[in-house]
Amino acid sequence: MAQTGRPTQLFRNMSAKIAAIPMVLTALVVFVGATLWTVYHSFTKSKLLPNSKLVGLDQYERLWSQNRWLISIENLAIYGICSMIFSLVIGFLLAAMLDQKIRFENTFRSIFLYPFALSFIVTGLVWQWILNPEFGIQKIIRSLGFEEFVFDPLYNPDIVIYGVLIAGLWQGTGLIMCLMLAGLRGIDEDIWKAARVDGIPMWKTYVFIIIPMMRAVFITTLVIIASGIVKVYDLVVAQTSGGPGIASEVPAKYVYDYMFKNQNLGQGFAASTMMLLSVLVIVIPWAYLEFKGERSRG
Amino acid sequence: MADTSATNSETTTMVGPRGRKPKRALSPRNIMLYGTLIVIAMYYLLPLYVMVVTSLKGMPEIRLGNVFSPPVEITFEPWVKAWSEACTGLNCDGLSRGFWNSVRIMVPSVAISILIASVNGYALANWRFKGANIFFTILIFGAFIPYQVMIYPIVIILREMGLYTKLGGLVIVHTVFGMPILTLLFRNYFSSVPEELFKAARVDGAGFWGIYFRIMLPMSLPIFVVAIILQVTGIWNDFLFGVIYTKPENYPMTVQLNNIVNSVQGVKEYNVNMAATLLTGLVPLFVYFVSGKLFVRGIAAGAVKG
């Protein structure tokens, strides 16, 4: 608070600069500095401690020859693609239903969105319990007379990632619905009137008029989903701990385990750099589009 | 199809004269719409229901029934046990420790991150200086960098500062990673405040802090509430930073919960686990249901660049 007394006429904007110091430090030290540090050290042979001796692409070669890493990538791809498709489709359908001028809209919205307030740990643990074959869905169906019914996604290595997906979708679709609903509300009422006058059926209006108009919302939503997917960690830790075996491992867990449990920092750095790369592949084209749009608008 | 619509129009003509609305409330379309919504709503509510019923059952009852069956004999023992007796490793003092740790982490983190970000957003919106936008752009793009890339260098930085595994270190981490979204939130809000107001205050001789405390702060209580909601739920739900930057006796509630439920020792007490899970979820759920529309505003602000 010592800055209050400074003559602002002389030190023009001094207070603003002081106020921005945390931002400058965060941007330069953490976001730029730490990222570059990690990328640099992914080319070294750091083991228990960071080591600055460069060894080229050794860490990456080892990374891509690890079965566990390949499974992690495969899981992330399956989880990512399914989660993008399903959360967009479900989110949009829910939003479209809520946009029909229905009663109790707030109640329904609150119900669809509340899982988003819960942590991935809570989400993972609840679904671990519901999907428990001894007491959960499998038991209920069996007790209805289907003795041979099998539904144990968390114990079957082939489908375990879909078990995680069910929980992830439950937690996250509410957010997508909210974004889509905001997009739908942003569309001019006159468009609907014009479509109705022309006698275009509702679903056609959605598919051919409304959705193309909401392109920007869809793209932004996709970027949000995608950058969230790369970070998936807590959900897997809580729901399956990466199991059975290594069947539901994900890259973020690989990074954590190699850095803090296996004391093999170099592998962790290389794996996290790969994660960064995959985010850049998504974010850069998006930023380019956004930036171009802003320039033509302004 | 023809039949149903005929009966429907019949019922509506019968009801019609008494009701005020000329619209048909029970059209096939509405039945479909509300039916679908109710089924989906039940699906979304199911896990919450399962958590509640399981946490109120005794273990023998759980072994006999399934996850959905309502409790025959309601017992609150699992809640007591989860709160004060559940074990993680050698510690058997329950989730209460994690709860208070989370509170001790959350309160300063929320306060400091919001204070810094609001002043920063104010500086960016009203006191632009050369180069400010470069740092702001880095900040926003930084929000997309996976945390995994930055966690280890931050361990080194905190160790050098003597704050690694200390509460203060975790507060710094939450402040840093909350900054992009909060700064964006405050910058956009302060930008929308009429400029005349700001200019008038400057003419009257108010400085940077004077305008912030006497004009901006009182005017922007709603956005502070949004920021608080965002941070309270975000920090309470954090797992990754908690597990990396604290030591076991300071673990936040989420980490302790995971350790309790996923511990391999002993007999699994599903009712205690679910009571613990529900206890951990109560704080964000409470914030969510109390805040209502402000929560939606917070996440929308967080998600869509404004």
Q: How many CB pairs below 8 Å do chains A and B form together?
A: 259
Residues 72-101 of A with CB under 8 A from B: 94, 97-98, 100
Domains of chain B: 2-84 (no CATH), 96-303 (1.10.3720.10)
pLDDT tens string B102-148: 999 999 999 999 999 999 999 999 888 888 889 999 998 888 899 99
Q: How many CB atoms lie within 10 A of CB A262?
A: 14
Taking alpha carbons only, the member of B278, B298, B42 closest to residue A111 is B42
pLDDT for A276 beyond 80: yes
What is residue A148's predicted lDDT score, i.e. its pLDDT? 83
Kindly state the percentage of chain B with pLDDT values over 70: 89
Q: Does domain A61-297 have CATH number 2.120.10.30?
A: no
Residue A141: pLDDT band by 50, 70, 90 thresholds?
A: confident
Cβ–Cβ below 8 Å for B149 and A13? no
Q: Which residues of B touch A166 (CB under 8 A)?
A: none
Which amino acid is located at A66 in the chain? Q
d(CA A56, nearest CA chain B) in Å: 19
Task: Name the minimum distance, in Å, from the CA of A66 to any CA of chain B.
Answer: 19
Span A129-142, average pLDDT: 87
Query: What are the helix (H) ranges across B91-220?
Result: 96-126, 132-142, 147-161, 167-191, 195-203, 208-211, 217-219
**Residue A2 with chain B: CB contacts under 8 Å:** none
Residues 6+ apart with CB under 8 A from B105: B167, B170, B171, B174, B235, B242, B246, B250, B252
How far A275 CA lies from chain B's nearest CA (Å)?
7
H helix or E strand, kind and range, residue B279: helix B270-291
B270-299 tens-digit pLDDT: 899 999 999 999 999 999 988 877 887 777
Q: What kind and span of H or E run contains B241?
A: helix B240-245
Give me the residues paired with residue A44 across strands: A54
Rounded to a whole number of angstroms, the distance from the CA of A95 to the nearest CA of chain B is 11
What values do phi and psi take at A263, rounded to 5?
A: 50, 45
Could you tell me which of A254, A235, A256 has the C-alpha nearest to residue A246?
A254
Residue of A nearest to B44 (CA): A112
pLDDT value of position B108: 96
Residue A166 has pLDDT above 50, yes or no: yes
Q: Is there a contact between A26 and B144 if contact means CB atoms under 8 Å apart?
A: no
What pLDDT digit, counting tens, does each position of B189-210 carry?
898 888 888 889 888 888 889 9
For B126, which residue in chain A has the nearest alpha carbon? A16
Nearest to B120 among A1, A23, A290 (CB): A23
The answer to whether residue A33 neighbours chain B at the CB level (below 8 Å) is yes
Classify residue A264 as left (phi > 0), alpha (psi -120 to 50) or beta.
beta
Percent of chain A surpassing pLDDT 90: 47
Give the Å distances, CA to CA, from B168 to B136, B149, B159, B234.
25, 21, 12, 18
Q: How much of chain A is helix, strand and coil, in % rounded to 5?
A: 75, 0, 25
Which pLDDT tens digit goes with each residue over A239-264? 998 878 899 999 999 999 999 998 89
Q: How is chain A split into domains, by residue range?
A: 61-297
* Residues of chain A with C-beta less than 8 angstroms from the C-beta of B44: 111-112, 114-115, 170, 174
Best residue of B122, B149, B212 to probe chain A, by most A CBs closer than 10 Å: B149
Shortest distance between the Cα of A79 and any Cα of chain B, in A, equals 17
Residue A166, chain B, CB below 8 Å: the answer is no
